[in-house]
Amino acid sequence: MYNEPIFLKPVFKDRIWGGTKLREAFGYEIPTETTGECWGISAHPNGPSEAVNGPLKGKTLDQVWDEHAELFGNQEGDEFPLLVKILDAKTDLSVQVHPNDAYARKVEGEPYGKTECWYIIDCAPGAELVYGHHARSKADFEQMVAENRWDDLLRKVSIKPGDFVYVPNGTIHAIGTGTMILETQQSSDVTYRVYDYDRRDAEGNTRELHIEQSIDVAMIPHEDAKFEPVESVVEGLKETKLIREKYFTVYRWELDGAVEGYENPAYLLVSVLSGEGEVTTQGGTYTIKKGDHFIIPSTVKQFSVNGTVECIVSHPTV
């Protein structure tokens, strides 16, 4: 029986809007000075992360998913469902929207659309993000886009570190300058760009926009999703269930001390945002620290954690 956590080596992505905070804040060895994304837990073909410990060492997460269904509770599906990233936006990301599963399959031939959510790790005082829009109809939306009336169209929301933002597919969104987030999302890379601030890359090229698809998939008019975080304390662990929705359930763990015999609800995706501690399973005791990403497979029915750590934890909602 496989009874240890699967630690994963992140994959980094250079982005026009990226910076160096993934190195400064998390100590990662980033490949460029414009690194925007750390794919911490990924089985996506565009950047699968690799197991670094135990008998699975050297295998990518998509391989582990294919070869060891028992580690994931024999969950159905050809593809691992979730993707966990940390993003460093040195400058604004493009204003974008993602399709639902049906549209992603039909139009892109991709298995999943993209519903995502963000835990705000850091941002400047008074920071804002784009969340939703003010158009009342598709015609209205189209006209505002055609006339470049971005200030009228885009809805801005204030954020601060520790906030949680839920972004169901169809939500127009963008994070802005100085914002660092942990993103839990469906394992999808399908993005439709609505607006890119007329930016040009080093070669003077603008990035492609996808206005037609954006209008197809955008929720118009915009409506805020309703959800209510739920807090509980067990021994040294304060656990906040940030959201439970169709695709994922996401928690914030603030541990100071120990929690014994934590019941694994299925398999758990864990990213350590600060501090250090230890996870103990039947397989042994494993050090965990800021910047680590790991999976506790469903064959580990119970485990203990001690130390002083903050983690974002998730599992697929089944």
Range list of H helices, the chain: 21-26, 61-67, 101-103, 138-146, 150-153, 211-217
- For residues 15 and 34, the answer to whether their CB atoms sit within 8 Å is yes
Cα 166 from Cα 118, distance rounded (Å): 6
Preceding omega of 99 cis (within 30 degrees of 0): no
Q: Would you call 105 a catalytic residue per the annotation?
A: no
Q: Quick one: which H or E segment has residue 121?
A: strand 116-122
Q: Which residue has the tokens 């914030």?
A: 252
Q: Which of 193, 200, 207, 252 is catalytic?
A: 193
* Cis geometry, peptide bond prior to residue 221 (ω within 30 degrees of 0): yes
Dig out the tokens for 312 from the structure: 């974002």
Among 191, 132, 204, 201, which residue's Cα sits nearest to residue 166?
132
At 75, is the secondary structure helix, strand, or coil? Answer: coil
**Distances, alpha carbon 37 to alpha carbons 29, 89, 168, 295, in Å:** 12, 9, 20, 19
Report yes or no: 215 and 146 within 8 Å, Cβ to Cβ: no
For residue 84, what are the contacts with CB-CB under 8 A and spacing of at least 6? 39, 40, 41, 42, 182, 183, 184, 185, 269, 271, 293, 312, 314
Nearest 5°: phi and psi at 91? Answer: -130, 180
DSSP code of 105?
Answer: I
Distance CA 74, CA 137 (A): 43
Please give the positions annotated as active site: 193
